[in-house]
């Protein structure tokens, strides 16, 4: 394995750009997490999952992980179990949004449903876990279904939600009533996250496509993957696909 062929200068540049964006996003709070002090959802939730589509699933996950870990060190967070476990949900969301392996992406939320419901509290608050049917159906539906980008986006954010909730129920003491009470809150937050993911994907595609075209950059497809049908110019029918 030739490291120089893997970590090419252009790939390092794009990894660094995303690294910086993640650090910024992680430090802009959106809403607090119920059940623990000083835990927040951040701006990062609105664009984190798209990393794998541009950088590839592997490099997307690597970029997100090291960005989160760097923020962990820079901000000086304590190495508590909750803080460490909270690194995981977004990694699964990145995989879901970028991976073409439908079976793996579809089964993850189902496993989360099972793990949630077998917990004594989750058994009572089982209704909460029905949200995780969204990423399952979003992944198994045919690709030709209209609004596929929105399905991927909501599937990604609810995959992160599924992973996070299972980790939460096994580590943070909460009552069944608290979980049930969160159902409308989750609907509001994840609706915004899903729209944000879809919107940021279009924006990133548009900006990167413009930069590559304007400056006539030769970027190998294995370094940066663009989906030109999701650029603003194509969506607004300003250009032909």
pLDDT tens, position by position, 153-187: 999 999 999 999 999 999 989 999 999 999 999 99
- In terms of pLDDT, which residue wins out, 99 or 233? 99
Read off the pLDDT band of 232 (50, 70, 90): confident
| Global pTM value | 0.88
Specify the pLDDT at position 209.
87
Read off the pLDDT band of 239 (50, 70, 90): low
Residue ranges per structural domain of the chain: 3-235
For the chain, give the secondary structure using H, E and C. Answer: CCHHHHCCHHHHHHHHHHHHHHHHHHCCEEEECCCCCCCEEEHHHHCHHHHHHHHCHHHHHHHHHHHHHHHHHHHCCCCCHHHHHCCHHHHHHHHHHHCCCHHHHHHHHHHHHHHHHCCHHHHHCHHHHHHHHHHHHHHHCCCCCCCHHHHHHHHHHHHHHHHHHHHHHHHCCCCHHHHHHCHHHHHHHHHHHHHHHHHHHHHHHHHHHHHHHHCCCCCCCCCCCCCHHHCHHHHCCCCCC
Read off the pLDDT band of 139 (50, 70, 90): very high
User: Which of these ranges, 63-77, 191-205, 209-223, has the smallest mean pLDDT?
Assistant: 209-223
Specify the pLDDT at position 96.
96
Residue 218 has pLDDT above 80, yes or no: no
Specify the pLDDT at position 142.
86
pLDDT 10s digits, 2-49: 555 566 677 778 888 888 888 899 888 888 887 666 678 888 999 999
pLDDT 10s digits, 65-119: 988 888 888 877 777 887 788 889 999 999 999 998 899 999 999 999 999 999 9
């Amino acid at each position: 394995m030739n490291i120089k062929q893997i970590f090419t200068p252009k790939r390092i540049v794009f990894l660094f750009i995303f690294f910086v964006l993640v650090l910024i996003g992680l430090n802009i709070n959106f809403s607090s997490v119920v059940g623990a002090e000083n835990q927040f959802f951040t701006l990062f939730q609105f664009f984190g999952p798209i990393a794998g589509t541009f950088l590839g699933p592997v490099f997307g996950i690597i970029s997100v992980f090291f960005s989160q870990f760097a923020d962990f060190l820079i901000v000086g967070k304590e190495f508590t179990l909750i803080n460490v476990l909270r690194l995981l949900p977004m990694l699964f969301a990145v995989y879901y949004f970028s991976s073409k392996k439908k079976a793996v992406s579809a089964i993850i939320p189902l496993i989360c449903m099972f793990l949630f419901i077998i917990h004594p509290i989750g058994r009572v608050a089982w209704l909460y876990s029905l949200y995780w049917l969204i990423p399952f159906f979003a992944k198994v539906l045919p690709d030709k279904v209209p609004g596929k980008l929105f399905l991927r986006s909501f599937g990604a954010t609810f995959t992160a939600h599924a992973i996070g909730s299972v980790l939460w129920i096994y580590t943070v003491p909460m009552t069944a009533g608290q979980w049930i009470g969160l159902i409308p809150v989750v609907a509001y937050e994840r609706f915004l996250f899903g729209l944000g993911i879809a919107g940021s994907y279009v924006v990133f595609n548009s900006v990167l496509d413009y930069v590559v075209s304007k400056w006539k950059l030769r970027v190998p497809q294995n370094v940066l993957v663009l989906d030109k049908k999701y650029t603003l110019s194509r969506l607004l029918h300003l250009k032909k696909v």
